[in-house]
Amino acid sequence: MLDFSGIKWYAVNMMKRSVFVILIISAITTGMVRAAINKADENFVPDEIIIKLRDSSSYNSSKLSPPDAANGGLKASGAVIKLNSKYRAKEVWQLFRDFRSNQEKLEKLKTKPATQLSNKEKHTLARLKRAPKGVKAPNLAGFYRIKFDLPKGQNIQNVLKEYQNCPDVETAELNYIVHTCKEPNDPLYGLQWALKNVGQDYPDSGRFSLSPGKMDSDIDAEKAWDHVTGDANVVVAVIDTGVDYNHRDLNGNMWTNEPELNGIVGVDDDGNGYIDDIYGFDFANKDSDPIDDRGHGTHCAGIIGSRGDNGFDTTGVSWNSKIMAVKFLSVAGSGTSGDAVEAIYYAVNNGADVLSNSWGGSFPASLLENAVAYAYSQGVVFVASAGNNNLGFPLFPASYEHVISVAATDSKDIKASFSNYGTLVDIAAPGVDILSLRAKGTALGTLYDEYTTILSGTSMACPYVSGACAILLSIDADASVGHIQDILIRSTDPVDPKICQSGRLNVNMAVLMMLGSNGTVYIDGDVVSCNGDVMVGLYDADIKSAGVQSIDISSDSGDLETVVLTESSSLAGMFAGSIVTSGGAVSLQDGVLQVADGEIITATYYD
């Protein structure tokens, strides 16, 4: 144990170059997944389909949103109208509404004078800087959701086949149902083993009998917070059952739509097509109040961004990031792919930087895949839970390209019994007996107190990774989606390789690697002993595989010592070593750093 005194450390790095490695994840093929999933697992709305019309065939009407009579006032190709009439289509929704006009607005926004930009517009332009070069947004125009009053003897699969064979329809699919997957001064922080695991006892559900955990089977959040605790400019959309935006440990971190907050009730003050969407939107009930009526979304939001160091309840991974509440899952924890894509589209268009998706289904829906591609084209990070089926692959949307898929581990770094796994899963994170926030009026999980509850699932693992993405973007707001994903995967702690392609999330190592894009020197803490052994570390991607790296340590007293750091065998570019400190007389290059109370020590290295 170190006897701390007032020595401050500074790191100086010279002759630096930044190196970014982009990792592209191969998408799982539809056939591979479909062959392994029982048909009985496929749930869909029994009287709805989703179609995409070919570019030459479109409903040319402004009456499509909200739902309107199938053909009343709508202009469509004769073939589509005949099918609508044959199967008694009664309602039509346009999905991704105003897509073309929104894209035109975005292009105009790029040339708008900076002095005329709103804060929301500035945020949108800043986010576009990290969008992948040369990747265009997919064409989301032409998607429609059709509801039928089916004639007796007809079923939706037969209807689907006819629309699929219609020459004016590019794609047609069922509207599938998806389901939820399941050291600050905050008083319950010591019970949050996933953030800091010292082998402590913690409250559990009684289902897994794991407490106490194994030391260091955690995401090293506390060490990461020595460097960064999150930025209020980073917005994480929790696409889920809603969020209790009044919760005392979340209300200070809620994203707010300022024009609506300060506008006129009943008026679309910001012109985004949604009235009074102050905290987000509810696509399950089609209203502007995304309050959580189940408790799942609030629990996830708490893992990501419950306010840190505020004296209340729990601590989120990112203490200061903003949470956007986007509800599409019902009180039962289920929703449709049609509502899911509208939720994704809303979150992207209203400034979210990270999308956290603790839900999934066993179907490959092109509609959902297009929504994921759209988020990627706009520079938005998409994180999704792998699923709770104990299958050797992730479900959808976690299986799609450009999605960070997350498996769940327990407090001993073992795969959670329920978690999906395999090389097609990108990363693992804690997901068993997780203590987080409880939405008012809900009783989901094992209740701990009025404000918190305990849940397990890949649903809980996903928001740990989402919070880590928010932390990384608070370091470098221009980091690309590929760079964020690459950092997360390369910085993990090792676990059973059968769980995922990388390891278990380590936020501290990810932070160091992100900082290391510009070279980072770090030590045990901000303040060290005048008489002890101090660990010194360095991460620099530019000098990986060097084996050793010298670093000069100097004190205000005039001492100068050279420390030789050795490269980690498990992480290229990570170096570590130590030096002894003493309060004695200065003696240059004697292997001991002579220091005095209150001095500043400087570390310098050259690459």
Question: CB atoms < 10 A from the CB of 75, how many?
Answer: 10
Cα separations (Å) of 550 from 314, 521, 575, 603, 607? 41, 12, 10, 10, 9
- How far, in Å, CA of 260 to CA of 251, rounded? 17
SS3 content of the chain, % helix, strand, coil (to 5): 25, 25, 55
Q: Which residues contact 39 (CB under 8 A, 6 or more apart)?
A: none
- How far, in Å, CA of 435 to CA of 561, rounded? 46
- How far, in Å, CA of 324 to CA of 304, rounded? 11
Catalytic pick from 240, 249, 413, 559?
240
Catalytic pick from 123, 247, 296, 402?
296
Assess contact for 269 and 429: CB atoms under 8 A: no
Assess contact for 362 and 395: CB atoms under 8 A: yes
- How far, in Å, CA of 313 to CA of 139, rounded? 44
For 166, the 3-state DSSP assignment is coil
Does residue 529 have an active-site annotation? no
Token code pair at residue 174:
């069922």
Displacement of CA 463 from its chain's centroid (Å): 6
Does residue 413 have an active-site annotation? no
Catalytic pick from 459, 474, 517, 529?
459
Neighbouring-strand partners of residue 169: 53
Does residue 240 have an active-site annotation? yes
Query: What DSSP line would sit under 301-367, residue for residue?
Result: HHHHHPPTTSSSS---SSSS-EEEEEE-S-TTSEEEHHHHHHHHHHHHHTT-SEEEE-EEBSS--HH
Catalytic residue positions, numbered: 240, 296, 459
